[in-house]
Amino acid sequence: MSETPKKIEGITKESTQAMIDTALAAYPEKGRKKRAPHLAPNDPEGSSSCVKSNRKTVPGVMSARGCAYAGAKGVVWGPIRDMVHVSHGPVGCGWYSWGTRRNLMSGTNGVDQFGMQFTSDFQEKDIVYGGDKKLRTLLEEAHELFPLAKGISVLSECPVGLIGDDINSVAKVASKELDIPIIPCNCEGFRGVSQSLGHHISNDTIRDHIIGTREFAEPASPYDISLIGDYNIGGDVWSAKSLLEEIGLNVKSVWTGDGELEKIAATHTVKLNLIHCYRSMNYMCKVMEEKYGIPWLEFNFFGPTKIKESLRAIGARFDQTIQDKVEVAIAKYEPIMQAIIDEYKPRLEGKKVMLLVGGLRPRHTIGAYEDLGMECVGSGYEFAHNDDYERTMPEMPEATVIYDDPSEFEFEQFVHKLKPDLIGSGIKEKYVFQKMGIPFRQMHSWDYSGPYHGYQGFEVFARDIDMALNSPTWKLVKSPF
Amino acid sequence: MSETPKKIEGITKESTQAMIDTALAAYPEKGRKKRAPHLAPNDPEGSSSCVKSNRKTVPGVMSARGCAYAGAKGVVWGPIRDMVHVSHGPVGCGWYSWGTRRNLMSGTNGVDQFGMQFTSDFQEKDIVYGGDKKLRTLLEEAHELFPLAKGISVLSECPVGLIGDDINSVAKVASKELDIPIIPCNCEGFRGVSQSLGHHISNDTIRDHIIGTREFAEPASPYDISLIGDYNIGGDVWSAKSLLEEIGLNVKSVWTGDGELEKIAATHTVKLNLIHCYRSMNYMCKVMEEKYGIPWLEFNFFGPTKIKESLRAIGARFDQTIQDKVEVAIAKYEPIMQAIIDEYKPRLEGKKVMLLVGGLRPRHTIGAYEDLGMECVGSGYEFAHNDDYERTMPEMPEATVIYDDPSEFEFEQFVHKLKPDLIGSGIKEKYVFQKMGIPFRQMHSWDYSGPYHGYQGFEVFARDIDMALNSPTWKLVKSPF
Amino acid sequence: MSATESAAAVKYVTETPPEEIARVKEWINSEEYKEKNFARQALVINPAHGCQPLGAEMVAHGFEGSLPFTHGSQGCASYYRSTLNRHFREPAPAVSDSMTEDGAVFGGQNNLHEALENAVALYKPKMISIFTSCMPEVIGDDLTAFIKNAKQKGCVPEGLPVPYANTPSFNGSHVHGYDAMLLSILQTLTEGKQIEGRCTGKLNLIAGCDFNTGNYREYKRILEAFGIPCTVLGDISETFDSPCDGTYRMYAGGTKLEDAADSINGKATITLGPYATSKTFGWIKDNYSGKHASMPMPVGIEKTDAFLMKIAELFGKPVPASLKAERGRAVDAMTDAHQYIHGKKFAVYGDPDYLIAYVTFLLEMGAKPYHILCSKGSKKLEKEIQALLDASLYGKDCKIYMNKDLWHMRSLVVTDPVDAMIGDTHGKFAARDAGIPLFRFGFPIFDRVNLHRYPLVGYQGIINMITFICNKFIDIKDETCEDRFFEMMR
Amino acid sequence: MSATESAAAVKYVTETPPEEIARVKEWINSEEYKEKNFARQALVINPAHGCQPLGAEMVAHGFEGSLPFTHGSQGCASYYRSTLNRHFREPAPAVSDSMTEDGAVFGGQNNLHEALENAVALYKPKMISIFTSCMPEVIGDDLTAFIKNAKQKGCVPEGLPVPYANTPSFNGSHVHGYDAMLLSILQTLTEGKQIEGRCTGKLNLIAGCDFNTGNYREYKRILEAFGIPCTVLGDISETFDSPCDGTYRMYAGGTKLEDAADSINGKATITLGPYATSKTFGWIKDNYSGKHASMPMPVGIEKTDAFLMKIAELFGKPVPASLKAERGRAVDAMTDAHQYIHGKKFAVYGDPDYLIAYVTFLLEMGAKPYHILCSKGSKKLEKEIQALLDASLYGKDCKIYMNKDLWHMRSLVVTDPVDAMIGDTHGKFAARDAGIPLFRFGFPIFDRVNLHRYPLVGYQGIINMITFICNKFIDIKDETCEDRFFEMMR
């Protein structure tokens, strides 16, 4: 955490509040009232979150949010590579989420890796008569056609919950008969207010069905850890893992990027859980802490400053061997990082960025931008909770705007006012701002690039940010006629 | 040769002559007089050639002919793969003939295979002061940069002869100093009336500079032969060679497709020269016959009928071993050929083809078309001599039109009248006739396909002819509106 | 003993042996596997279609100032939007009324009303086009009543058109949602607009559920060449191909509402996506003035000819010389390039109207549409494609697979190989496993740029398809041939 | 002893040892080899240009009823024709007067006269455009006199224009022949046509030595959008992109002779190929009415902007909204796709005007035109390109090679690698050896179809270049990445 609050010239609590008020003025009374608590100037030293969060989205405002199913399928379950993940219900949800999150996976597609779309493709008759029987049949078919799948998840879409199907008992019976774990997950999209409940429901099912069902065959070591909340977007896990191994730790399992079911099931035997995406998986860390006494630690692998802080914090949880290796690693990478900074910083210094992403990035990436000489003039989340904002406030400069689940309207208004040099957000926002001539990076998916985690990732990140900001194409946007 | 003259319904000596006369009517007096002897109805049993040939092209008529340089560079020398062939003079000639003849070559480009463009790139000053010194320098440069080149040919373009350069003495001196064969070839484009003189000049230089300068290291065998006049268009040599080897012969050298200088130089030790392209290389066969007593035999490897005839004729020059192998090969391939014929003939039966090509194809390919049930209603050469036409007459149906070096105007007129289903000619003619909606194959270059020689080639030929004729695209040419 | 027992109870993490992986890798490419795969009854793997609301949103974007509005869960809306964003690399502004659990209990009326108020205030639409995702469909929300109430309550301004369509995701595909939404928009906008004796003199043109903006532009260019005024109904060409000039236009294009309203008085109406407009066109036939024609997408020479001749006939105007020249140039490209594609086998998949287009084009080029697969097909479609195959020498041995998915397709291309695939991005895994190129002519295209800007329809479309296909085949030859076959000319 | 001696005299056929081949294979990729290669003084290997008459023939095809006529050896004419045939996959009807050896003695007048008579009788041209190949240039034929005599003798009908140009192959390249022939044609056709006070109101546009028919069409489309009447001088767009409709048109297109004649009274004349028209444009400036402007090929946004603004200025008309929208769409394509090309290194080669175009486009996209090679360049060209490089962050470290050939280029790309090449087909060997794609934007293109139909100029040209380049880069990624990096989206 930063020591003294950062400041941005020209941004004051008043200017930010005025900007917020202007944006809110466009709403009808009711909408304005609902939205007002979600927008605020940052108070880095505030003791409680400056914005309200994790509330229902105001209807009709064009939110960036997804649903519980998206949180379950796209985030938590999808990245487990050796399972068949069945999108149970109509065809669309699974189709839209097929291959669109960039959680890279090892293995061979259809053999021991299942980055495909499995669906029960509900038809009218399934709605009327229920889909349990179909589910039962398809589980058998999946098991027969994909014998190396270590398990099957059944991810419910909206109709399943509404028509009262009992996927839990179908899964239970089938699991026994097919002799593989079949995990029912009641993550219907209408549940909760965002992806976030999908994460939680998925965490619950991992807790209930998976954790503790396996043990590692090899003997335990004091350096066994697990990497939690890294989904291997663009290869992040591979970068983070290799760094953790370089400092002497054994990454026994990853939740869930490029994940393996049985290793996840054996995670209760590790010595420390390292959590990157706090939002989606802190619950599981707490469960493992309570149930198995495993401590956990939040860390940040974006940008050399935060990586160094994090490595030392991790090292502090282990003995001198690890701590020494941490210092060796830092000493090895710092000059490389400095060279990167020397190359790009002159072209990025003083540039302003605004963020609107999910999970952890609206706060975790700030340091990486700052390493490049940039400053963050606005940040917010799609589906954060209070604790996320509490963690964000000290990272953001004073009085900069914080927005929770902003409507596209609000986001546009803020951008018009703040005139950032770069926006980091999602695909739905990307082209809106590019039309305005504003450089943009998709920061959910690393814009088809990556990894951004770890030292290896920072090089890619720096290059991408420079490319986005300094592409000569932006100079051509304004027509001379 | 065919026993009884073939006939085509509706084509008589009179109808053909009328067609010729109509075409000639468009010429001015002088041109008409010059062109008339070059066009005639075929007389399959005639004792002398029915058309005049190997005369100057009538100026201004749009001939398909090339020049002596084209005959030397493109045909004879170019295919020798392990030599650097220098187009000596201005940049164009070498550039236009670079890679445009499809004489495929083994080896690695620039290492031990030189299918590239080497030129002295004459500038104004070279015309004024002469290019001998430049030639001398470039020979050294070529030798230094391409140490594995077995020799260098110097192919003169028009200016060289006109300005009185002495490439022969430059080559002689350089050859001694660099210790590799350097062959000067005075094949200026203005010499003679067509490519044909280029072939002859090249033959002369091979005779004077190459033949007899090497011997094969391995012991001679009674089955040593040479393949003459196959330029490996689309891989023809590879197909022909493997068939000749299958019947027990040793193909010691190939003139000049995928050719090697030293093997060509040792050809005087073989037992038989097999000649495919009579036009371009019969002279060398005669030279070798006279000087070294090597008999030679014309053969035709297009289409199963001619291949069978040729194989037996070749076999007859050897002992029973070879003759037995010939019969084995025929027995092996005939059913395969029959299957091909069974597949394509029903779609090609009765279709008419017209030909205008170079070398040997206007007569040699006729049998292959006939194997597919087609008939040839017109044929002619770009640069043939009397003996070519003598060999063509018995192959062509009675009274069909024979044209020597026809102008595009004449060719068009004949096509309008005869309405062939397919035309086989060159790139300059291709698009003219395709615009008319007439299927066409480039028969100099096998239209980027091949090989067409040998049994292997017939399969490709049959497929290509079927594709050309039966492509559904032709049905779309006529607009319904 | 108890130690052993407890040890026995522990299940250890296992690794699949490499030889087992190798075995399965081979097995999934086998005929045996293909049979098992085709025996599937319940499990769908890698389908080639989305759900109805996606098509509804697409066409809703095709009208001036129209704000697409998902009545249902907000996650649905995000999925549709991002799918369109990725395909077009363009914004896709749309809202939802964010129904949540309480909707299951109380219905979605409150959400709908509140959302209408907010959307109107923030996004100032000229029309709000409502369609449904699963939740309201399952619980049985009465949209007609809800919207009537909304108007009464004043949630939407007087006169703002609010077409709506039921687009259940458990029925049909995006193609059907397109049809349903378009029908409702036209019904809404034309209501009371039919004027006895009036004729706009215009052609109404419906492109079908077509995600290629170049196609829309090509239709307009063709009609312009004819000098025939035209209203493209559901015109997404500007919406999803808007300039980048420093200004974001939330409603960048679309059919003018006035023109759409007046389309009921058109001189003629043509649909070029018969499978995507069966409901809409049925209604038009019964309700629109002027003449009506339903034709396949004008892909390939013959279908383009038919389209142009139909226009000529409907408007009593000859096909303009410029288009005739274009025809000749397209045929020229075909004859010049036929040798690079003749006899090549293709696996094709996609929405019905696209599928017919691919088959038509390939047969005209002498190529074989060898595996033809539709993941949401019909008997009618099968019959129509079979008739195309039967009419051509090159249709022999080609086979149609209705209501199969891309995992079936994978089995087909690995057991009975083809030279290339045509379809959308989702086929790339099968194409990779088969080691063949995939030509991305369908929807969605997530992994190439600009392809939606190149028309596939009309004569220019033919040239584009030839360019993409034949040059790729030549690329492959150049990249994979032995040195001795590497040549200057091709 | 004598047997041994004679045995010693026999030279046997040798085989180069494989290890020697391997050594040289490696050696030709070395820095050492590159140095030797660049030290060449006399030998030219794989040059990237043809000779003057080729360009002369090309532009001669660009006028109505014009029959290109080579005064010289017939083989030359066959070479030019087949080069054009292969590039365009179109007919290139042209004649020669088939000079042979006796020409060296007597000169070519008899051939010329006889040929004119025959050509007129058989091919009924509206103009005969004569240019020379080596032979008459070396022997010093006096074309002016020959043609005057031909007219006097009645070898050509009264009034048939017979422009002629000296186009020595030992000087310059096809680009210069284009210039010389065009100049003569314009001088011939406009002679005596200048009318005091007359203004056609038209723009005369010269494309430069451009072999892309799509570019010509694009210019005409742009002018049409402006509503400005235009005469493209040397318009090959119909000549070399004529319909296949069952009729062969020997003279399929070209600038109308009447329009060309009247061009001297034009409102303005623009050349878009300054390097290809230096003589022609110099003469035009001195002789044509109206305003004159020489501008680089409008490739890339800025140069297209400049072109449109120049037209707007010359004609006092604003740039039409439709073109402004196209600009926005091109920029949109650029911003959307920049990440697929940004920072990539290219080797580019070609004729001067093309070369400037490639460099401009790449710099606008943030790519690096790293090796820039012209086999027939000039100090002026070098300076102009250097200025482009200096003005961009992405021009840093990029190097220009004037009057080098493609064997030099090979050394460059194997020792100092790049991601791709841009040029004509002749670069394919170097590209293969370097294992990189070659984008065929130049002339000639012998091994792909239709590419000359896709404009590279104007805003549409930008989209085309992005499509070809970026999608190929993505293809490569998809085809070469490990399984774990094979993704749905790119």
Q: Is residue C45 a part of any domain in this protein?
A: no
Using a CB–CB cutoff of 8 Å, tell me whether C320 touches chain B: no
Are A283 and A372 part of one and the same domain? Answer: no
| Contacting partners of chain B (3+ CB pairs under 8 A) | C, D
Residues of D in contact with B89 (CB under 8 A): 134, 170
Residues of D in contact with C454 (CB under 8 A): 467
Are A72 and A55 part of one and the same domain? Answer: no
pLDDT value, residue A3: 64
CA dist D221 → B202, C195, D322, D327, D460 (Å): 52, 39, 11, 14, 11
β-strand pairing of D127-132 with B224-230: unpaired
The strand order across the sheet containing D345-349 reads D399-402, D368-374, D345-349, D420-423, D438-440
Using a CB–CB cutoff of 8 Å, tell me whether C138 touches chain A: yes
- Tens digit of each residue's pLDDT (9 = 90 or more) over B173-206: 999 999 999 999 999 999 999 999 999 999 999 9
Residue A414: what are its φ and ψ, rounded to 5°? Answer: -65, -40
Are A355 and A309 part of one and the same domain? Answer: no
Residues of D in contact with A107 (CB under 8 A): 483-484
Q: Do A473 and D334 touch (CB under 8 A)?
A: yes
β-strand pairing of A272-275 with D164-165: unpaired
Are A54 and A77 part of one and the same domain? Answer: no
pLDDT value, residue D8: 54
Q: Is residue A202 a part of any domain in this protein?
A: no
pLDDT value, residue A1: 44
CA B268 – CA A198 distance, rounded (Å): 86
Are B345 and B471 part of one and the same domain? Answer: yes
Domain span including residue C252:
203-322
Report the candidate in C248, C198, C225, C232 with the shortest Cα–Cα distance to residue C64.
Answer: C232
The last residue of one of the domains, among D322, D339, D370, is: D322
Query: Taking residues D227-248, what's their average pLDDT?
Result: 98
pLDDT at D361 over 50: yes
Are D148 and D233 part of one and the same domain? Answer: no
Query: Taking residues B209-227, what's their average pLDDT?
Result: 97
Using a CB–CB cutoff of 8 Å, tell me whether C80 touches chain A: yes
Q: Does residue B408 contact residue B423 with C-beta atoms inside 8 Å? A: no
Q: Is residue A207 a part of any domain in this protein?
A: no
Are D291 and D374 part of one and the same domain? Answer: no
Query: Taking residues D90-109, what's their average pLDDT?
Result: 94
Q: Is residue D72 a part of any domain in this protein?
A: yes
CA A479 – CA D301 distance, rounded (Å): 9
Residue D400: in which H helix or E strand, if any?
A: strand D399-402
pLDDT at B1 over 60: no
Query: Taking residues C66-95, what's their average pLDDT?
Result: 98
**Band of pLDDT at residue C103, cut at 50, 70 and 90:** confident
Residue C268: what are its φ and ψ, rounded to 5°? Answer: -160, 155
The last residue of one of the domains, among D322, D348, D366, is: D322
Pick from D449, D452, D473, D484 the residue to mutate for testing the C interface (most C CBs within 10 Å).
Answer: D449
Using a CB–CB cutoff of 8 Å, tell me whether A99 touches chain C: yes
The last residue of one of the domains, among B327, B346, B364, is: B327
Q: Is residue B250 a part of any domain in this protein?
A: yes
Q: Do A480 and D305 touch (CB under 8 A)?
A: yes
Are B354 and B464 part of one and the same domain? Answer: yes
- Tens digit of each residue's pLDDT (9 = 90 or more) over D10-29: 899 999 999 999 999 999 99
Tokens coding D455: 């404009």
Q: Does residue A94 contact residue C51 with C-beta atoms inside 8 Å? A: no
Q: Is residue C71 a part of any domain in this protein?
A: yes
pLDDT value, residue C8: 55
Are B144 and B268 part of one and the same domain? Answer: no
Are D308 and D376 part of one and the same domain? Answer: no
- Tens digit of each residue's pLDDT (9 = 90 or more) over B247-283: 999 999 999 999 999 999 999 999 999 999 999 999 9
Q: Do C333 and D490 touch (CB under 8 A)?
A: no
Q: Do B467 and C302 touch (CB under 8 A)?
A: no
How does C331-342 read in b/e, with b if 16+ C-beta sit within 10 Å? Answer: bbbbbbbbbbbb
Q: Is residue D18 a part of any domain in this protein?
A: no
The type of residue at C179 is D
pLDDT at C310 over 90: yes
Q: Is residue A117 a part of any domain in this protein?
A: yes
List the single residue in C326, C328, C336 with the smallest CB-CB distance to D449: C336
In tens digits, chain A (481 residues) has pLDDT values of 446 889 999 999 999 999 999 999 999 999 999 999 999 999 999 888 899 999 999 999 999 999 999 999 999 999 999 999 999 999 999 999 999 999 999 999 999 999 999 999 999 999 999 999 999 999 999 999 999 999 999 999 999 999 999 999 999 999 999 999 999 999 999 999 999 999 999 999 999 999 999 999 999 999 999 999 999 999 999 999 999 999 999 999 999 999 999 999 999 999 999 999 999 999 999 999 999 999 999 999 999 999 999 999 999 999 999 999 999 999 999 999 999 999 999 999 999 999 999 999 999 999 999 999 999 999 999 999 999 999 999 999 999 999 999 999 999 999 999 999 999 999 999 999 999 999 999 999 999 999 999 999 999 999 999 999 999 999 999 999 9
Are D153 and D220 part of one and the same domain? Answer: no
Q: Do D170 and B30 touch (CB under 8 A)?
A: no
Residues of C in contact with D326 (CB under 8 A): 243
Q: Is residue A7 a part of any domain in this protein?
A: no
pLDDT at D1 over 90: no
Residues of B in contact with C484 (CB under 8 A): 104-107, 258
Are B72 and B57 part of one and the same domain? Answer: no
Q: Is residue A203 a part of any domain in this protein?
A: no
Are D356 and D456 part of one and the same domain? Answer: yes
Residues of C in contact with A137 (CB under 8 A): 41-43
Transcribe D152-221 into DSSP letters: HHTSS-TT----EE---TTSS-HHHHHHHHHHHHHHHHHTTT--TT-----EEEE--S---HHHHHHHHH
Q: Do B92 and D43 touch (CB under 8 A)?
A: no
Most distant pair of Cα atoms in chain D: their distance: 98
The last residue of one of the domains, among B192, B216, B250, is: B192
Are A345 and A446 part of one and the same domain? Answer: yes
- Residues of D carrying an active site annotation: 134, 138
CA C401 remoteness from chain centre: 19
List the single residue in A105, A464, A473 with the smallest CB-CB distance to D484: A105
pLDDT at D320 over 80: yes
Report the candidate in B267, B349, B334 with the shortest Cα–Cα distance to residue B303.
Answer: B334
This prediction's pTM: 0.98
Are D101 and D228 part of one and the same domain? Answer: no
Using a CB–CB cutoff of 8 Å, tell me whether A426 touches chain D: no
Q: Does residue B191 contact residue B197 with C-beta atoms inside 8 Å? A: yes
Q: What percent of chain B has pLDDT over 70?
A: 99
Query: Taking residues D382-407, what's their average pLDDT?
Result: 98
List the single residue in D319, D331, D484 with the smallest CB-CB distance to A481: D319
The last residue of one of the domains, among A327, A352, A375, is: A327
Q: Residue A267 class from Cβ within 10 Å (0-12 exposed, 13-18 middle, 19+ buried)? A: buried
Domain span including residue B430:
13-61+334-476
- Residues of B carrying an active site annotation: 67, 70, 101, 199
Q: Do B471 and C336 touch (CB under 8 A)?
A: no
Residue C8: in which H helix or E strand, if any?
A: helix C2-9
Residue B273: what are its φ and ψ, rounded to 5°? Answer: -105, 125
Transcribe B114-166 into DSSP letters: --S-EE----HHHHHH-SHHHHHHHHHHHHHH-TT--EEEEEE-HHHHHHT--
Contacts of D412 (CB under 8 A, 6+ apart): D34, D347, D371, D373, D401
Domain CATH number, residue B415: 3.40.50.1980
CA of B363 to nearest chain D CA: how many angstroms apart?
A: 23
The total of structural domains in chain A comes to: 3
Tokens coding C177: 């949602």
Are A141 and A229 part of one and the same domain? Answer: no
pLDDT value, residue C107: 93
Q: Do C138 and A158 touch (CB under 8 A)?
A: yes
Beta bridge partners of B425: B442
Residue B179: what are its φ and ψ, rounded to 5°? Answer: 60, 45
Q: Do D98 and B263 touch (CB under 8 A)?
A: no
pLDDT at C3 over 50: no
Contacts of D308 (CB under 8 A, 6+ apart): A481, D222, D298, D319, D323
The last residue of one of the domains, among C168, C190, C212, is: C190
pLDDT at B357 over 60: yes
Query: Taking residues D311-339, what's their average pLDDT?
Result: 98
Q: Which of A:234-273 have CB within 8 Å of D?
A: 235, 258
Q: Do D393 and A477 touch (CB under 8 A)?
A: no
Tokens coding B249: 């012969």
Are D464 and D342 part of one and the same domain? Answer: yes
Are A53 and A74 part of one and the same domain? Answer: no
pLDDT value, residue B3: 64
The total of structural domains in chain D comes to: 3
How does A269-290 read in b/e, with b if 16+ C-beta sit within 10 Å? Answer: bbbbbbbbbbbbbbbbbebbee
Are D393 and D451 part of one and the same domain? Answer: yes
Report the candidate in B119, B206, B110 with the shortest Cα–Cα distance to residue B149.
Answer: B110
Q: Is residue A120 a part of any domain in this protein?
A: yes
pLDDT value, residue B245: 98
Are C208 and C314 part of one and the same domain? Answer: yes
Q: Is C134 a catalytic residue?
A: yes
Which residue shows structure tokens 């941490």? A326
Are C176 and C103 part of one and the same domain? Answer: yes
CA C150 remoteness from chain centre: 32
Domain CATH number, residue C95: 3.40.50.1980
Residues of B in contact with D13 (CB under 8 A): 214-217, 260, 262-263, 265-266
Using a CB–CB cutoff of 8 Å, tell me whether A463 touches chain D: yes
Are B283 and B393 part of one and the same domain? Answer: no
Are D347 and D440 part of one and the same domain? Answer: yes
Q: Is residue A219 a part of any domain in this protein?
A: no
Q: Do D135 and B478 touch (CB under 8 A)?
A: no
Are D340 and D451 part of one and the same domain? Answer: yes
CA B154 remoteness from chain centre: 21
**Band of pLDDT at residue C1, cut at 50, 70 and 90:** very low
